[in-house]
Chain A
Amino acid sequence: MIGINVYLALIAIATLLSMYRVFRGPTTVDRLVAVDIMTTITAGLMVLFALYYQRMIFLDVALVYAILAFGGVIAFARYMEGGL
């Protein structure tokens, strides 16, 4: 149970690197791809938090978060194509 801190640190580093692309990215789709990756990483983070705090209810939070993030990314992609 000690090693889980290392995994949380790896996820934090990955999220920070994605944040660099969100702030830097030259086009809008660059930022959207980075946000998509960040939501995937955050779903994994929530699953790890469920293990860290020993609460199974956090797994449901991760599932709902994944569903909402998928809908949001699809909506933004349709909007970028020109027709919502």
Chain B
Amino acid sequence: MNALAIIGEVLVLIGTFFYLLSALGLIRMPDVYNRMQTSTKSATLGSLGVMVGVGIWALGTDFGSAAWLTKSIVIAVFLLLTNPISAHALIRAAYKSGIPLWEGSVVDKYREHLEAKERGEVEEAPAEEGGEE
């Protein structure tokens, strides 16, 4: 049990804990938008922890090599890139198929945007200037 194995094991513990938190948010939250919000972010963070942790943990064992860390970082970066895309596509499908918001939700920016666009008073996104500060 050397230092690399201990670091990797701690990372894997954090990652699986965040997996558990994302599943808890999935059964706790009141509507589909809140469920996506809580579960996707924590599951992405948990995946990062588990995969980088397994890579580092394998370096500390006798069968491990550098390819373990490389492959697990590849998987982690892929999940980090694609999880927000799939969540965004799912939740846009939910909104367009007419699922109502929870009655406690107070703001709906997308509907305000659509109504402003119907009235023809939406200005195109004020592009890159001012986006830097």
Q: A-side interface residues toward B, CB under 8 Å?
A: 1, 3-4, 6-7, 10-11, 13-18, 20-21, 25, 27, 29-30, 32-34, 36-37, 40-41, 43-44, 47-48, 50-51, 54, 56, 59-60, 62-63, 66-67, 70, 73-74, 76-78, 80-82
Contact = CB atoms under 8 A, between A and B. Distances in A.
Interface in B94-128: 94, 96-97, 99
A33 B15 contact: no
A68 B86 CA distance: 12
B91 to A, nearest CB: 8
B33 to A, nearest CB: 10
A66 B80 CA distance: 11
Interface of B: 9, 12-13, 15-17, 19-20, 22-24, 26-27, 32, 35-36, 39-40, 43-44, 46-47, 50-51, 54, 57-58, 61, 63, 65, 67-68, 71-72, 74-75, 78-79, 82-83, 85-87, 89-94, 96-97, 99
Contacts of A77: 86, 89-90, 92-93
B96 A81 contact: yes
Contacts of B90: 29, 32-33, 36, 73, 76-77, 80
